Amino acid sequence: MTGNKAVAYKEPGKVELIDIDYPTFELKDGPGVNPANVGRAVPHGVILKTVATNICGSDQHMVRGRTTAPSNLVLGHEITGEVVEVGPGVEFIKVGDICSVPFNISCGRCRNCKERKTGICLNVNPDRPGSAYGYVDMGGWVGGQANYVLVPYADWNLLKFPDKDQALEKILDLAMLSDIFPTGFHGAVTAGVGVGSTVYVAGAGPVGLAAATSAHLLGAAVVIVGDMNADRLAQARSFGCETIDLSKGGPAEQIEQILGVPEVDCGVDAVGFEARGHGHDAKEAPATVLNSLMEITAAGGALGIPGLYVTGDPGGVDESAKKGALSLSLGTGWAKSLSFTTGQCPVMKYNRQLMMAILHDKVSIAKNVNAKAISLEDAPKGYAEFDAGAATKYVLNPNGYLS
């Protein structure tokens, strides 16, 4: 039997490379697996040899101990791989295909999937709508920061790259299609970004940089990125963004210095529930980004909210925050007739179009997010550096496909 190593969450602040079973076409019991999913047959699945699998800010929430993730949960929902086995129910995907895996698992059969709401599939997670690989409370599908991974409903879920050699030439860019590029694009689209828009993106991590890249792709006139991390702000400036340093105070005054008015047409929250307040030595204040976006987005505008918010946060700043209950100035949003879009990005709504933009040199997403390939063995170091604020998107290379 082929060996399989994987990156697992051990305890707050610690991940470790462990040995796990080679995948089979059945969901086995294990850390985080919903009991109702144990024994679930997956004849519609394939086994991938992992080409690239990325470290995500959403993984970091678990690694910091800010969720109820159990020890030994195998991490990784940003997966690109080569098909090495197909289940008996797979018709169109073939051995040897290189494919992008949307991070949200969906069945393609339920009402929500048929309405392109693949982030809230009704059939893959017994607890609630929506699922993902290697994530707490998402059904227990094993993560892809491993040599091999099982992908269910393969004919539906997988985005096959049209030419294998071309794909491998652009693999760092294509690796972003599993999550952050569609997620950032979704944030920009739902914020209403279009030709001539002025856009504020809160957060210069990989999703924020992907949202800023997407805003440019959608024709924005000015894209402003706010953060407290100087290196990440420099990365945003490297591809034409304006930036504001939130350690110096809130965004409105700094936006006015750029645009002449203290507001933008469109706002994107790429931070989520671990947000901090503004100013030097600001403390955690999870509603800060949402409230500031309502203040600086023009009346009648929209907020795209791809940043992650949770219903259970053991490290929350107060009892309300521990349940995901934040003190929002909803009256401001109501008075300004603002629209809000939250939740998982429905990756399949965007990933093919973004793949074509990459393959035909319309966008350089890997460069913009400063993607860097590292070995599976270096994953703990990558997690630590990313958590410390590195302006880098770490891409794990379990099987040597990446140069």
User: For the segment 255-287, what is each residue's pLDDT rounded down to a tens digit?
Assistant: 999 999 999 999 999 999 989 999 888 898 889
Average pLDDT value for the chain: 96
pLDDT of residue 282: 87
pLDDT of residue 281: 85
8 Å CB contact between 107 and 42: no
Tens-digit pLDDT profile for residues 173-208: 999 999 999 999 999 999 999 999 999 999 999 999
Category of 33 on φ-ψ map: left (φ > 0), alpha (ψ -120 to 50) or beta = beta
What is the 3-state secondary structure of the chain? CCCCEEEEEEECCEEEEEECCCCCCECCCCCCCCHHHCCCECCCCEEEEEEEEECCHHHHHHHCCCCCCCCCEECCCCEEEEEEEECCCCCCCCCCCEEEECCECCCCCCHHHHCCCHHHCCCCCCCCCCCECCCCCCCCCCCCCECEEEECCHHHHCEECCCHHHHHHCHHHHHHHHCHHHHHHHHHHHCCCCCCCEEEEECCCHHHHHHHHHHHHCCCCEEEEEECCHHHHHHHHCCCCEEEEHHHCCHHHHHHHHHCCCCEEEEEECCCCCCECCCCCCCECCCHHHHHHHHHEEEEEEEECCCCCCCCCCCCCCHHHHCCCCCCCHHHHHHCCCEEECCCCCHHHCHHHHHHHHHCCCCCHHHHCCEEEECHHHHHHHHHHHHCCCCCEEEECCCCCCC
Other beta carbons less than 10 A from residue 328's beta carbon: 14
Phi, psi of 141 (to 5 degrees): -70, 130
Tens-digit pLDDT profile for residues 51-89: 999 999 999 999 999 998 999 999 999 999 999 999 999
Phi, psi of 15 (to 5 degrees): -120, 160
Place of tokens 């080409």: 51
Place of tokens 């997956």: 42
* Domains of the chain and any CATH numbers: 5-179+346-396 (3.90.180.10), 182-341 (3.40.50.720)
Read off the pLDDT band of 311 (50, 70, 90): confident
**Any idea which of 292-301, 325-334, 348-357 has the lowest mean pLDDT?**
325-334
**Any idea which of 20-34, 42-56, 312-326, 385-399 has the lowest mean pLDDT?**
312-326
Task: In whole angstroms, give the CA distance from residue 191 to residue 199.
Answer: 9
Give the mean pLDDT of 391-398.
98
pLDDT at 302 over 60: yes
Question: pTM (2 decimals)?
Answer: 0.96
Those residues whose C-beta lies under 8 Å from the C-beta of residue 115, and which sit 6 or more positions away, are none
Read off the pLDDT band of 1 (50, 70, 90): low
